[in-house]
A and B are shown apart, each in its own frame.
Chain A
């Protein structure tokens, strides 16, 4: 079970609370977590990754265990603490003023 913390506006869009929990089989990669998130909450499709290119949107960031993994390839395996649910996978909106 992987825990994901979404930014405020995506929580209200998906009608979820502070944290969502996803089942991802095997070792789990960044891409698999986003795949599982979009499958469970289809309204989030296109909000984290671009619909066409499937690339991370420029003002969205991913953090795991205090590390910025936004620029890591989507097939990057996640640390055991994330896979076990001990630490959450953070999806953040970049600080961009306003």
Chain B
């Protein structure tokens, strides 16, 4: 019997929501790590019960948690007595040790001056497609790390941060975060990442070297709107069967590329606003995509106080509003960039969480919606796992 598990990260802990394949009745487990910010949780595609979680706090920094039983129990990787003995006999305890490779250097600060790179937190965890112990981490200040021992230790793939455009990267309102990591299922040597506010980058050698892929992006807040870097990319998504076609929600504009990011074209079409954060792709229809329009960069809530998901069945440009079951008045929540996900059942399930603590689900590809939970802390991320 199929089932769905939603991994929900919030400002005050993690929650695990589970349902059978009907996706009507949900069980809520949590809060896990109560009181801590959980930016993201994600399960391994190889072993869905292996889940990684990013737990952090402004006070006490970064913690990595790992579950081997689908979120029922958790451990900080490498914390068994045997694992804790290093070569010198002293404990290691390094699963939260994210040290930049070499001297970190500087990037651009909000005021245009140069500012040292400083690690703050892990925004996104992306388990590899073929090994449950291999996982990537996108961090703030922007850099990409990987672990090949199940999160016990981390090393930076520093070719990205050391790209010669690094001094021109700058933080967005949420900090200078690497928030999106995509692994090409047809060519695992090809990785895509996105950074606010630097833009999108691609590696074709497993993360060793990188190049900006921002041709076609126009950001009018920049002195040079079509510059090579500096764009505030909010999210990128693709369909696994068609990984050369990328969809992007930018600070403003919905963009599309059909050549792995070499060139982008705008597909905002008839949206009421093309500002927003998440973007995702239907599990079975590579040209069906979803966004949640937000009023503007200054007004982070839905236009007219009406929460609407917009769906395009044409890969952009032509959009239909989806409102059934969503609040259509007095709604002033935001939906953050990692807070939308799809399952792979038939019909496709679509889920998103809001800063108001609601997690909405649709078991019919977005035609109708219902709240799964209404009163969680502000939702930072939602990941759907399809369990068969």
Contact = CB atoms under 8 A, between A and B. Distances in A.
A9 B35 contact: yes
Interface stretch (B60-68, B198-206, B286-294): B60-68
A45 B96 CA distance: 8
A44 B96 CA distance: 10
A71 to B, nearest CB: 17
Contact of B93 (A9, A45, A94, A96): A45
B57 interface: yes
Contacts of A45: 91, 93-94, 96-97
A31 interface: no
B59 A46 contact: no
B97 A43 contact: no
Interface string A32-49: 000000110011111110
B322 interface: no
B97 A46 contact: yes
Given A8-B35, A93-B59, A42 B96 contact: no
Nearest to A45: B93
A4 B57 CA distance: 21
B63 A47 contact: yes
A52 B269 CA distance: 48
Contacts of A50: 61
A38 B93 contact: yes
A12 to B, nearest CB: 7
Contacts of A38: 91, 93
A64 interface: no
Contact of B97 (A9, A13, A44, A51): A51
A9 B61 contact: no
Contacts of A44: 93
B96 A9 contact: no
A2 B91 CA distance: 20
Interface in B154-210: none
B79 interface: yes
A27 B40 CA distance: 44
Contacts of A46: 61-62, 93, 96-97
Nearest to A35: B90
Interface residues of A, number: 24
Nearest to B60: A47
B85 to A, nearest CB: 10
A94 B91 CA distance: 28
Contact of B34 (A12, A39, A60): A12
Nearest to B35: A9
B10 to A, nearest CB: 14
Contacts of A47: 60-61, 63, 96
Interface string A51-76: 11000010110000000000000000
Interface string B52-78: 000001111111000000000000100
A13 B62 CA distance: 12
A27 B93 CA distance: 27
A79 to B, nearest CB: 26
A10 B79 contact: no
A51 B60 contact: no
B59 A59 contact: yes
Nearest to A51: B97
Most buried by A among B61, B84, B90: B61
Most buried by B among A42, A52, A93: A42
Contacts of B94: 45, 51
B92 interface: yes
B39 interface: no
A42 B96 CA distance: 11
Interface in A1-41: 7-10, 12-13, 38-39
A42 to B, nearest CB: 3
Contacts of B46: none
Interface of B: 33-36, 57-63, 76, 79, 84, 90-94, 96-99, 119
6 contacts: A43-B76, A45-B91, A46-B97, A52-B99, A57-B60, A60-B59
Which 7 A-B pairs have CB atoms at the shortest separation, nearest pair first?
A: A42-B93, A47-B60, A42-B91, A45-B93, A93-B59, A59-B59, A51-B97
Given A46-B96, A48-B60, 15 more contacts: A9-B36, A9-B59, A12-B33, A12-B35, A38-B91, A38-B93, A39-B90, A39-B91, A42-B79, A43-B63, A43-B76, A43-B93, A45-B94, A47-B96, A52-B119
Interface of A: 7-10, 12-13, 38-39, 42-48, 50-52, 57, 59-60, 93-94, 96
